[in-house]
Structure 1
Amino acid sequence: MPASASISRRQLLRGRPLPAPFEPRPPGAVSLDACTGCGDCVRACPQQILSIAQDRVILLPRDECTFCGECARACPEPVFGKTRIMGHLVAISGDCLTHAGISCMTCRDTCPEDAISMRPRIGGPFLPEIDGAACTGCGACIAPCPNGAIGIIERNMADAE
């Protein structure tokens, strides 16, 4: 559900608000409760993919994260842990050109971890599949996607450890 979605009438009448939308964090960010929103990590990021929103750091999926660790080194608060694992993975939506019968392998070609493979199918172009264990969540495949069909979903951190 998009972040701009409002509460439905049914949710209002039942007293069930929408869950907060998932906001991607920089690699290794374990506790955003400690984030003061100072922006030191944003200024330190050489890829310029970090921003401050609602007094917390968020990752903007517009370029690839190189896991350089500059954000963690610049942060004066206990926001970052020792491991550099993203709290998210990428996911390919139904807007992928392959679902419209158009052959496209841009996501596979740009993935530095080879986490995206193409599954053959009869009567149509190959379909992209993401290996969740191999995906680092770096975002290298997001910007090059010609149809904007790649987004971010929250990673089950129990699986990542």
Structure 2
Amino acid sequence: MSDINQSRRRLFSRRKSNAIRPPWSRQDIEFTDICTRCDKCIQTCETKIIFKGDGGFPEVNFSIDECTFCQKCVEACPEPLFTATDDSPWQIAATINDTCLALNEIWCQSCKDACDPRAISFIPAIGKAPQPQIDTDICNGCGACVAPCPSHSITLLDKKKL
């Protein structure tokens, strides 16, 4: 294939977005093909975690607050972007990076205190601060652990990548 054809292919190929979309967003579609950017989900979000992201499409920012799974974004959307709300809201789970205070021998359990499903536990260790552990089977992806983390060490990732 010529260099020109490869350049064209790269120009018109879609980039897979790493954005976290609102809960219950369908995974079997290209979100940006169907979303009209009407902002109804943004306006109805009770915790204001949905914002206008790349290209004006809705994204979720857990550093603001958590998702309460109120389903208002689903109800407000006029497009077929969402699955049934009895399905799992996301296929994401919390992960802790190495800037975590507990991993650096400073006693902190802010994330555990914020986690209602109790997916985050701390394992006692001799001679050092208890070490965090996340049970990804219990984590519902609500993001409640993100904002309280003083070292910004928690992110939510696709469970398939964990």
TM-score (norm 1): 0.81
Percent same amino acid among aligned pairs? Answer: 36
Per-residue deviation, 1:63: 0.5
Structure 1 partner of 2:58: 57
RMSD of aligned residue pairs (Cα, Å): 1.8
Structure 1 partner of 2:19: 23
From 125, 136, 152, the counterpart of 1:148: 152
User: CA, structure 1 residues 156+85, in 2 after alignment: closer, same or farther (shift >3 Å)?
Assistant: farther
Q: Deviations over 1:55-106 (max 9, x none)?
A: 3211111201000100000000000100242132111000000122101111
Partners of 1:140 and 1:112 in 2: CA distance: 8
Q: How does 1:74-113 map to 2 (within 5 A)?
A: 74-82=76-84, 83-113=87-117
Contact 1:27 1:87 in 2 (8 A): no
Contact 2:97 2:153 in 1 (8 A): yes
Contact 1:67 1:84 in 2 (8 A): no
SS in 1 for 2:42: helix
Partners of 1:76 and 1:104 in 2: CA distance: 43
Contact 1:107 1:144 in 2 (8 A): yes
> Does residue 122 of the first structure (1) align with residue 126 of the second (2)?
yes
Per-residue deviation, 1:37: 1.0
Structure 2 partner of 1:12: none
Per-residue deviation, 1:20: 4.5
User: CA, structure 1 residues 141+133, in 2 after alignment: closer, same or farther (shift >3 Å)?
Assistant: same
Q: Which runs of 5+ in 2 are unaligned?
A: 1-9
Q: Which runs of 5+ in 1 are unaligned?
A: 1-14
Bigger Cα Rg: 2
TM-score (norm 2): 0.80
| Aligned structure 1 segments of 4 or more residues deviating by more than 6 angstroms | none
Per-residue deviation, 1:21: 5.1
Q: How does 1:31-70 map to 2 (within 5 A)?
A: 31=29, 32=31, 33-53=33-53, 54-61=55-62, 62-70=64-72
AA in 2 matched with 1:101: E
Partners of 2:24 and 2:149 in 1: CA distance: 26
Per-residue deviation, 1:36: 1.3
AA in 1 matched with 2:56: D
User: CA, structure 1 residues 34+151, in 2 after alignment: closer, same or farther (shift >3 Å)?
Assistant: same
Per-residue deviation, 1:122: 2.1
Contact 2:146 2:152 in 1 (8 A): yes
Partners of 1:85 and 1:132 in 2: CA distance: 14
AA in 2 matched with 1:68: C
Partners of 2:132 and 2:152 in 1: CA distance: 14
